[in-house]
Amino acid sequence: MQDLKVLDAGNSGAPGEPGVPGGRGVVSRRGLFDGRIMRVAAVEALRKLDPRVQIKNPVMFVVLIGTVITLFEAIAHPSVFSWSVMVWLLLTVLFANFAEAMAEGRGKAQADTLRKTRTQTDARRLRPDGTEERVAAGDLSLGDTVVCEAGDVIPSDGEIIEGAASVDESAITGESAPVIRESGGDRSAVTGGTRVLSDRIVVRITAEPGKTFLDRMISLVEGARRQKTPNEIALTILLSALTLIFIPVVVVLQPFAQFAGGQVEVVILIALIVCLIPTTIGALLSAIGIAGMDRLVQHNVLAMSGRAVEAAGDVQTLLLDKTGTITMGNRMASEFYPVGGCSEQDLAGAAQLASLADETPEGRSIVVLAKERCGLRERDLGPDHVFVPFSANTRMSGLDTDGRRIRKGAADAVKRWVTEQGGTLPDELDPIVERISRAGATPLVVADQARVFGVIELKDVVKEGIAERFAELRGVGIRTVMVTGDNPLTAAAIAQEAGVDDYLAEATPDAKMRLIKAEQEGGKLVAMTGDGTNDAPALAQADVGVAMNTGTTAAKEAGNMVDLDSNPTKLIEIVEIGKQLLMTRGALTTFSIANDVAKYFAIIPALFVGTYPQLDGLNIMGLHSPQSAVLSAVIFNALVIIALIPLALRGVRFRPSGATAILRRNVLVYGLGGLIVPFIGIKLIDLILTALGAY
């Protein structure tokens, strides 16, 4: 056996595994105003003029009808004013269509990228007698079994029932590093279109043709199956009701004018209706919902419905796995505690030798700690050394070399081994082991035959900055619960360090279900992550169930979101995106309604000041003429939609704060802004029209 040397070791996790940053994923971030998307959106805006499409948006449908009536009026009684109003009303509808088409276009562009990853390939299907036959991937049926070896493209979604292999999933996740998929565990699911890099696996097909995970991704990303959420439907009903209220209000202005000896043109009445109904939010409402799902996709998360995104914004209880989410996921060596008169140098040296062949993250961290603390780097071993691997029976591992027998392992196992060797146990050993255990860490005892050198503390390290994020979530009314299989003592210590509000120790699938149901019975929405078949019931029960892409098919089917990066920490970002969606919708609704109030006070006085001179006191903008006032308002009404498209697509910036603070900010920024901006905008347009000599 060759001599071994300890070189500088790092503490890096396996790329492509949960919690390890990877590539950008299937969806690269596109600029907001991508030229190709804008060109496609411009064409789609014209196609959406179809009344069968417009009727799905009652507010904009009314604007379209008004545009048609104005067109007939302009033809019957031609004038620059009537044609100008008609053109700007048409632009109002087109701008609304453009906003929705822009949001959809980003999703369709992402879907096109996914389509390129689909590969038409042959599959090696197993017959009942065990022989193979080559068939097209599209001919595979649910329950078929196929063989895949190195270089083969996995033909469809399935579960590995035999073997293990290294799989390149970059076509789906964007992560270039391969991942291990194997039968019999929570990492047995494979996705069609990914490529086997090594070994041989037998896969049972779990998806029908055209219904694979990649097919569903394409449909969801391009918005083909997007359904309006309950809040979106409720807001649409409210906007429709406001529209229906304003129509008769404006219509009765004609008899009032006639009674006073005046006359109001039909074009002006239609323009007034369009300006007073909530066209701004009506035009952007659909784009806001689509953009919310798009932001999730940009984070490599697929939401199975808009309802799931919206529910994420209303979540009040967050169930978070300890391992990989709150902690780094690997116990790391953090301290050496020498005993029995040994020095830290002696303990570090023995611990390092016992860990040379230990390829686990814990073993590598011991080597690194010995290097950092005591400067122990290269170690020469003679040709007669023998590594002793860890086993479940002995619960120890180590090294035999030059007459030394060094072991590290569980405290009770090493103590028993030392006693069998005729050694004695130092008095301070048990108190150190007990103190480490009470602190939520893991003690490993190191010994050389009959002599105990000391204890290594393995600590499940809490992620940096996680406590601050939990504090922010607490500020917006979200309760965090850590879920772990650890004993209550260890769980309590880690929960206190991480700053979570509560914890569930020794968690079982039944315990998770009971916790979720208890929270829901209290009127709260619950979000959680999971990847195993045993997580499926809880994922299905949770209001927001985020399944890891590395998990089983059962978990992905049970959840209503799939994280392609398989990063459990992503749940926090999902909640923030959901809240951002709700905040954006609320902010633009506030702005739109405030806009309408401002336009009401801007137009009505200018229109009727000739009939009712008393209204002149309300004409604070001093608009040039009634026609100029109406046209200025119509132009502003159209332009403000275009101006707000970036905000609708990007979303209002999320700042962790309570509901009262959010309401106050909405009223001050978007409510007050919605009142002031129309006065400024309409006046500027009126000055431009007057300067051009139009009116």
Give the integer Cα–Cα distance in Å for 27 and 299.
Answer: 8
User: Is 300 annotated as ligand-binding?
Assistant: no
Q: Which two tokens stand for residue 71?
A: 């067109």
- Is residue 391 annotated as involved in ligand binding? yes
The pLDDT assigned to 5 comes to 31
With a cut of 60, say whether residue 118 has pLDDT above it.
no
**What does pLDDT average to over the chain?**
81
pLDDT at residue number 23: 39
pLDDT(327) > 90:
no
Of residues 525 and 260, the one with the higher pLDDT is 525
Is 393 marked as binding a ligand? yes
Among 570, 682, 586, which Cα is nearest to 632's?
Answer: 682
Cα separation of 146 and 125, whole Å? Answer: 4
Residue 377's alpha-carbon distances to 278, 353, 408, 430, in angstroms, are: 71, 11, 19, 30
Per-residue pLDDT at 430: 92
28, pLDDT greater than 50:
no
Q: What average pLDDT does this structure show over 556-575?
A: 82
The predicted pLDDT at position 39 comes to: 86
Q: What is the mean pLDDT of residues 229-246?
A: 84
Token pair belonging to 380? 């020469």
| 487 known ligand binder | no
Asked if 264 contacts 257 with a C-beta cutoff of 8 angstroms, the reply is yes
Q: Has 217 been labeled as part of a binding site?
A: no
295 in a labelled binding site: no
- The helix-helix angle for 672-691 and 570-608 (nearest 10°) equals 50
Query: What average pLDDT score do residues 508-526 get?
Result: 89
Chain centroid to CA 688: how far?
45
Is there a binding annotation on residue 397?
A: yes
Mean pLDDT of 576-588: 89
The pLDDT tens digits of the residues spanning 401-425 come to 888 899 999 899 999 999 988 888 9
Q: Which residue has the higher pLDDT, 649 or 113?
A: 649
pLDDT at 110: 64
Buried b (16+ CB within 10 A) or exposed e, 47-65: ebeeeeebeebbbbbbbbe
> Between the CA atoms of 36, 39, 42 and 48, what dihedral angle is there, to the nearest 10 degrees?
-60
pLDDT tier, 22 (very low <50, low <70, confident <90, very high otherwise):
very low
- 655-695: pLDDT as tens digits: 777 667 777 888 888 888 888 898 899 889 988 988 887 65
Which of 99-108, 176-185, 493-502 ranks highest by mean pLDDT? 493-502
In terms of pLDDT, which residue wins out, 88 or 510? 88
Using the predicted structure, report yes or no on whether residue 18 has a pLDDT greater than 60. no
Please check the confidence at residue 177 and state whether its pLDDT lies above 70: no
Instruction: Give residue 515's pLDDT.
Output: 92
Q: Is 362 annotated as belonging to a binding site?
A: yes
What is the C-alpha to C-alpha distance for residues 689 and 88, in angstroms, rounded to an integer?
Answer: 14
The residues, ordered by sequence, that sit 6+ positions from 211 with a Cβ below 8 Å of its Cβ are none
pLDDT at position 642 is 93
DSSP assignments along 298-363, one per residue: HTTEEES-HHHHHHHHT--EEEEETBTTTEEEEEEEEEEEE-TT--HHHHHHHHHHHTTT--SHHH
Q: Cα separation of 430 and 21, whole Å?
A: 40
pLDDT of residue 8: 34
Mean pLDDT on 156-172: 83
The bridge status of strand 145-149 relative to strand 200-205 is antiparallel
Residue 174 has pLDDT above 60, yes or no: no
User: What percent of the chain has a predicted confidence (pLDDT) above 90?
Assistant: 20
How distant, in Å, are the alpha carbons of 317, 362, 458, 491 from that of 440?
24, 16, 9, 7
691 marked as binding residue? no
Q: pLDDT digit string (tens) for 255-281?
A: 776 776 667 788 888 988 898 889 999
pLDDT of 450 reads: 87
The amino acid occupying position 447 is A
Q: Three-state DSSP class for 494?
A: helix
Q: Which of 205-214, 527-536, 645-654 has the highest mean pLDDT?
A: 645-654
* Count, residues in the chain: 695
Instruction: Output 557 or 149, whichever has higher pLDDT.
Output: 149
Q: Residue 11 pLDDT > 60, yes or no?
A: no
Q: Which of 27-31, 124-128, 192-196, 601-605 has the highest mean pLDDT?
A: 124-128
317-321/479-483 β-pairing: parallel
4 has a pLDDT exceeding 50: no
Q: Point out the residues that are catalytic.
A: 321
DSSP state of 527: E
Any binding-site annotation on 540? Answer: no
**Binding site annotation covers 358?**
yes
Give per-residue pLDDT as tens, 338-387.
998 899 999 999 998 888 888 777 888 898 898 888 888 766 676 778 88
Q: Is the pLDDT of residue 304 over 50?
A: yes
Report whether pLDDT(639) > 90: yes
Residues 427-469 have pLDDT tens digits of 999 999 988 887 778 899 999 988 999 999 988 777 778 888 8
pLDDT for residue 111: 65
Bigger pLDDT: 81 or 208?
81
Which pLDDT score, from 0 to 100, does residue 288 have? Answer: 87
Question: Would you give the DSSP letter of residue 30?
Answer: P
Residue 173 is predicted with a pLDDT of 63
Say how many CA atoms lie within 13 Å of 344 toward its Cβ: 11
pLDDT at site 339: 93
103 close to 34: Cβ distance less than 8 angstroms: no
Spatial distance between the Cα atoms of 380 and 401, rounded to a whole number of angstroms: 11
Residue range 628-634: mean pLDDT, rounded: 88
Return the pLDDT at 10: 33
